[in-house]
Amino acid sequence: MRRSLAGNAAAAWGFRLSRVQCYPYYPITPSTSCSEQVADWAGNGEMETVVINVESEHSAASAVIASAKSVRAGTATSSKGLLYMVEVLENASGASLPFTIFVGNRATGAPINIWGDNSDAYAVRDTGFIQLFCADGQEALDNIIQAYRIGENMAVRQPVFVNLRGFTGTHTYEPVEIPTAAEVDAFLPPHVPLEPLFAPERPVTYNPMLSAYYYRRHKRNQTEALRNVISIAEKVGTEFGERLGRTYRNFEWIGDPRAELVVALMGESSGAAETIVSALQGRESIPGLAVLRIRLFNPFPAREIAHALHRAGTKAIVVLDEGLAHGDVFPPLALRLSSALQAHLGSAVPQLASVIGGLGGSEIRPEHFQTLFNLAANMAQQRPYRREPYWLDIEEDPILLQDEQKVNPKLWRRYGEVWKNQPILPQYHAALPSTNYEIRLYGRAGQGAITSAVYFTSAGVENGFWVLTKPTFGSERRGAVVHTDTLVQTNGRGRTRSFTGRLDLVCIFDDTILTSPGHAPARDLKPGGTVVVNTVRYSPQRIRELLQLTDSATTVYVVPASRIARELQLGSFYNMVMLGAMHRACPFLDFEAAMNFYERNVPKPKEANQEAIRRGYLETTERETALPEPPPPDERAEAYFQWRPEEESLEEKILRSLEIYHGS
């Protein structure tokens, strides 16, 4: 069954299909909706599990550890929540307890940052947990099921983290294939408690105090069990592929099997890297390229990766870390790869550079990988490069020198010679052909722009398109300008998750955004793109002026969405009207086919919302819309907007405060 799901919902399906029996949790952004979904299913009887609402992540971890002694258990967390669990996490791995924690990876601050990077996962890499990294929601679902199979293997019996990047992974709606319960049951046998807590005939003490002699002997056993994961995870991934059609390896080699230049990374950013590999592969003066996407981060399959690089004859490898290790030689992934190459390849080791990027939700775009492959090409030609990490998107400290004036003078003294010897190779920076139709919806928080995009995505998925929606999330208050990006894959191959940022369609839900300072909604519009605006105030010509659209090939549509919503008694909920307008402008999803989906799934009131979609589709026009009758003035609202505190006397202030007190 293919459905449009956010990454968190896909993870929740993973727990549901794994028949998790106990799920203690404490909510934290961005993994909250995974736990909410599990709690919802448990509440309505769709999932037989005991959900425990605990008072902190520390308690959640304690409860999941306690329950894992007897039943199959799981939970989800992120960032500081995961760090709060750390104190008890080693009790799980030390006591050989298999369970799964889904981690919506998020920055750990300070300062506070709620967006995605791998800092939290890196911080717990020495807790003895198995760590799997996912590239999308589908992998989150599949990996959670596999995590139980791997962790519960009798040669392992260790807990697992399943990592998915926060927001761009956890909140992106995309097509996810949900296996049937029977398929998963055939793959994942029921949980067997090895040392159950409630066995009166065989009472057991967990975590007793051990002297140094026994302690070191136990830790030797523990590391041996963890080491078994490397072979078992590979077997489990292969069997999963045989049964469910999606094979998983400990690491994936994407691109030329004899790649000279390799970019290594983990997780969701591989989507953009794969786009670049397929676009640059085979071009003149470009050697073989590949992306090394690592799924199993802990235990690290060092020997296998080193041998894979050796077999391919790789000359240079650039490692992208989406997190830090303060003060270390390299960040964790680069450090592990570097150690692996040194330990297993000796003098035949390829050149290795480390790059830090994607911190705190920083976007990793395809053009970043053009730069990284350019850097790798320079390294392969024995040009000097840094032995310290590079940084993405720091203008004062670029990877390749474009403008010397912008470079920090202190860094110029340190790395000037390196920059001068690192040429920008134009063949790596050629413009990429677009294979996607990209839509951006601008709205104000609370207007339902994200809902429109999610409905559009779901209808597209049902009609066989590869569509995904990536909403922006953050600290925006109701009324602030937000946007959501939707991608329709148009070339019909693969599963791209990579947005180019060049837009084919911009839908503006509120015409005040046209004049809102700091926003240029049409800035990233492609030549020949389309703009749709909900307005009765502005003509298409005036919108062109406001958005500074000089390209005559650009089409501007207007739709009186607010007026239609009012006429249909929908109040200020005009997102369904805008959904219809999106269909008018987007050529890739047949409106009538999509209506089949909307008729079944639109929110209440169903008839009015269906009519809103139809009218939105029909009344979207390139012509000027007639101005409606001006609404009768609201005296109370006028008074509110006219009121100025400096014009109010003390007596009036007191009277006003009394009115507020009495609720008038």
Partner 1 sequence: MNRKRKRRERVIEWTTGQIPRNAKRDCGAGRETMGETESTNQHQQWQPLATCNEEKDFLVSGRLVFVRDKGAAQTPESLSPAPVVATASSRQHLDGDGKLLGFPVIPDPKVLERRSDLEQPPLVLSLEELARHSIEGLDYSAAMDQLADLGPEGRIVLYYRKGKLFRHEVFEDPRVCKDVERGAVVHNLEQKAQDVSGWRVHEFYIDSKGCLGEICTRCVRVCPESAIHLRGDGATSFCEIDPAACKGCFICWVECTRKAADCITIDGKVFDSQLRAAHFGE
600: which residues sit within 8 A by CB, 6+ positions away?
A: none
Per-residue x/- track, 95-114, partner 1 (CB under 8 A)? xxx-----------------
Least distance from partner 1 to the Cβ atom of residue 216, Å: 9
Least distance from partner 1 to the Cβ atom of residue 563, Å: 32
Token pair 């807990």 in the structure block, residue: 159
Burial 367-392 (b: 16+ CB within 10 A, else e): bbbbbbbbbbbbbbeeeebbeebbeb
* Nearer to partner 1 among residue 28 and residue 68 (C-beta): 68
Least distance from partner 1 to the Cβ atom of residue 96, Å: 3
CA distance 153 to 229: 9
Q: Using the rule CB under 8 A, which residue among 111, 190, 433, 631 binds partner 1?
A: 190
Least distance from partner 1 to the Cβ atom of residue 21, Å: 10
CA distance 590 to 362: 35
* Nearer to partner 1 among residue 195 and residue 567 (C-beta): 195
Least distance from partner 1 to the Cβ atom of residue 32, Å: 19
* Nearer to partner 1 among residue 195 and residue 256 (C-beta): 195
* Nearer to partner 1 among residue 112 and residue 192 (C-beta): 192
* Nearer to partner 1 among residue 27 and residue 255 (C-beta): 27
Least distance from partner 1 to the Cβ atom of residue 340, Å: 22
* Nearer to partner 1 among residue 159 and residue 358 (C-beta): 159
Asked if residue 595 lies in contact with residue 456, where contact means CB atoms within 8 angstroms, the answer is: no
Q: Can you say how many angstroms the Cα of residue 543 is from the centroid of all Cα atoms in its chain?
A: 33
Least distance from partner 1 to the Cβ atom of residue 43, Å: 7
CA distance 249 to 242: 13
Residue count, binding to partner 1 (CB under 8 A): 41
Least distance from partner 1 to the Cβ atom of residue 129, Å: 14
Least distance from partner 1 to the Cβ atom of residue 59, Å: 19
* Nearer to partner 1 among residue 224 and residue 638 (C-beta): 224
Asked if residue 107 lies in contact with residue 55, where contact means CB atoms within 8 angstroms, the answer is: no
Alpha-carbon Rg for the chain in angstroms: 28
Asked if residue 336 lies in contact with residue 325, where contact means CB atoms within 8 angstroms, the answer is: no
Per-residue x/- track, 117-146, partner 1 (CB under 8 A)? ------------------------------
645 contributes a contact to partner 1 by CB under 8 A: no
* Nearer to partner 1 among residue 210 and residue 553 (C-beta): 210
Least distance from partner 1 to the Cβ atom of residue 99, Å: 13
Per-residue x/- track, 226-255, partner 1 (CB under 8 A)? --x---------------------------
Asked if residue 25 lies in contact with residue 35, where contact means CB atoms within 8 angstroms, the answer is: yes
49 contributes a contact to partner 1 by CB under 8 A: no
- φ, ψ of residue 51 in degrees (nearest 5): -95, 130
367: which residues sit within 8 A by CB, 6+ positions away?
A: 429
Q: Can you say how many angstroms the Cα of residue 455 is from the centroid of all Cα atoms in its chain?
A: 19
CA distance 80 to 98: 23
45 contributes a contact to partner 1 by CB under 8 A: yes
- φ, ψ of residue 296 in degrees (nearest 5): -95, 105
CA distance 331 to 114: 21
Please list every residue from 318 through 347 that binds partner 1, using CB under 8 A. none
**Closest C-alpha among 572, 561, 538 to residue 614:** 561
User: Tokens standing for 156?
Assistant: 């392992």
Least distance from partner 1 to the Cβ atom of residue 73, Å: 13
Please list every residue from 452 through 511 that binds partner 1, using CB under 8 A. none
Q: Using the rule CB under 8 A, which residue among 29, 70, 469, 496 binds partner 1?
A: 70
CA distance 581 to 592: 13
Asked if residue 54 lies in contact with residue 69, where contact means CB atoms within 8 angstroms, the answer is: no
Sign of the dihedral through C-alpha 543, 547, 548, 554: negative
User: Tokens standing for 471?
Assistant: 């909403």
* Nearer to partner 1 among residue 193 and residue 384 (C-beta): 193
**Closest C-alpha among 472, 567, 581 to residue 534:** 581
* Nearer to partner 1 among residue 98 and residue 580 (C-beta): 98
* Nearer to partner 1 among residue 187 and residue 617 (C-beta): 187
Per-residue x/- track, 192-231, partner 1 (CB under 8 A)? xxxxxxxxxxxxxxxxx-x---x--xx-xx--xx--x---
Positions that interact with partner 1 (CB under 8 A) = 43, 45, 70-71, 94-97, 153-157, 189-190, 192-208, 210, 214, 217-218, 220-221, 224-225, 228
